[in-house]
Structure 1
Amino acid sequence: MQKRIRSYVQARNEGRIPGVDGALKPEASQILFQAFIQGALERSTTLEMTGASESRTARRLIKQLKDDGLLSETSSRSPLKREIPEHAEPYYFPQLAPGI
């Protein structure tokens, strides 16, 4: 699964995913993988995983992942839950959602 998520991030960064704009930082793959495995991540853990010296940079990445439907939240203090939007399905589950 980790390889599939990395493949999604790489395809995204190369502009091969229609309808989704903007590259993701490489740290996004680790965050998405851990969220997938655990179901949800505490915000503090997610911020640490970015490795960014500025919390602003980390918060931008988290906002981008939420805006793209890859993570969700029920409140501004709740854990970040994994989501699998339609544009990520062919990468996460290539046998179930062919198309890449």
Structure 2
Amino acid sequence: MTLSPLKARDLQTPARCYSVTSTETAQGGRLKTRTLTGTIWGDFQPDTPAFVTGTDGRGYVVQTATLFVRTRAGMAPNDELHLKGAYWIIRSIDERADQNFRLRIERTV
């Protein structure tokens, strides 16, 4: 199979990129801070949402997706993207043979 480079017409989905830092509060909780690092355009391909049971015994609906982009733009796993009205966590970043990048992302619905 030959991979073809992404064409501009395939990059229909804008995503704002955020680096995320987590700090402990004085009360013992955690405070998550998002810092905008830029905007990228990608080819968004969502998977079907799935029901999963968490370690706390509660059920959650989790949706995963793939976002193909031309550049990784300083993104790292556990950074977040805001696209399609929701925040998605980057789970993995893979460089493809055509020098584009495949981001595996997920969100809790």
Same fold flag (TM > 0.5):
no
Normalising by the residue count of structure 2, what TM-score does the alignment of the two structures yield? 0.28
Larger Rg, first or second structure (1 or 2): 2
Q: Whose helix proportion is higher, 1 or 2?
A: 1
